[in-house]
Structures are given as structure tokens and as C-alpha cells.
Amino acid sequence: MKRVIFDEPIQFIERIRDGLNHEPSGSLYLWTDQGNIYRAWPTAEAWKLVNRSKSAYQKNVMGVGLDDAEEKSPLDGCMECHTGVGTAPPRLKGILGKAIAGNKSSAYSPGLAGKGGIWNKTLLKKFLKNPEAFAPGSSMPDQGLKSDDQLNGVINAIVELSEGRGPGG
């Protein structure tokens, strides 16, 4: 498979000269200018995401529609943007209990940046139901989550993710 599944910056003191991916284990071996070799490997949760993506990719190649290829998480659409990398929206893991627009590296709309408060289930539900009403000028597109079942599904998935039980934990 030749596509990015997960992107996360890795900080090293030494300059990396080359790298090798050991597909079966998910390990990444990195060779530095100093001749050192380092091994990085995914967390159990990240490895689950990799395997889910591989499975969906293979099923799609075999002609199975992606909707039928895997069990969907309520967070599948969210995780595409919420990477926490650069100015991207913050990661969802652990967002409950944190300050609204509190991630210093993310670029927030003025409406969300000026909102104040701490994310809890009630505020998150209001935001997900109608981002523009919650924070005028919000850059988050409306996700079409209107029913309580949909909203509670996303919020419960964020709780599971924060507890290390969900995808991408």
C-alpha cells in the first residue's frame, strides 16, 4: 500500500539519513548521519488503525464498497482533520476537560477562540450539532450530526478514545 495512513512528527537530535519500514511489525528503522540506528513502532491503537485501513484498502481492491469494507467508527470523518499536527485542529484524545480553543498550535476562528470555557459533553454536543451557532465564524464545517444518537455516538467515541479504548488512541 502506497499511501499515508497516519502522520505524526518525530523529533530527533540527529539528522536522519534513511529509513526502512518493516511491514509485518509496523516498525520504522531510522539511520542517522552519525551511523546510529533507531527503531520506532506504533502504539497498539495506531497499529489497529493501520490494520483497519489495510483491510479496507484490500476489500476495496477486491470490489467491496468501502461502506461494506469495515466497521465504521463515529470518529472516522473527524480523524481526517483532527491530527494535531501544525495548525490542524487538535487531536480529540483527551479534549474533554480542556480549554475551548486551548491548543496553542492550532489555528482557531475568532468565534471559537473567544468562546472561553472548558470542553464538556454538553458544550461539545452543542458545537457538533451546529458549529456556526456555537461559535460564529467557526472554520469547522457542519458534520450533519443532528440526532441525539449521532451526537452521543461521537461523544462516546471521544470518551473511549481518551480512555485508550478507541481508534487512534
- The predicted-structure confidence for 81-113, as pLDDT tens digits, reads as follows 777 766 778 888 888 999 999 888 677 888 888
Instruction: Give mean pLDDT, residues 37-63.
Output: 69
**Architecture label for domain 72-162:** Orthogonal Bundle (1.10)
Q: What is the pTM of this model?
A: 0.57
Q: Where are the chain's structural domains? A: 72-162
| Predicted pLDDT at 33 | 92
pLDDT value at residue 8: 66
The pLDDT, as a whole number, for residue 36 is 92
Query: Please, which contacts does 43-48 make with residues 24 or more away whose CB atoms are closer than 8 Å?
Result: 43/169, 45/164, 45/166, 45/167, 45/168, 45/169, 46/6, 46/168, 48/167
The answer to whether 143 touches 77, Cβ cutoff 8 Å, is: yes
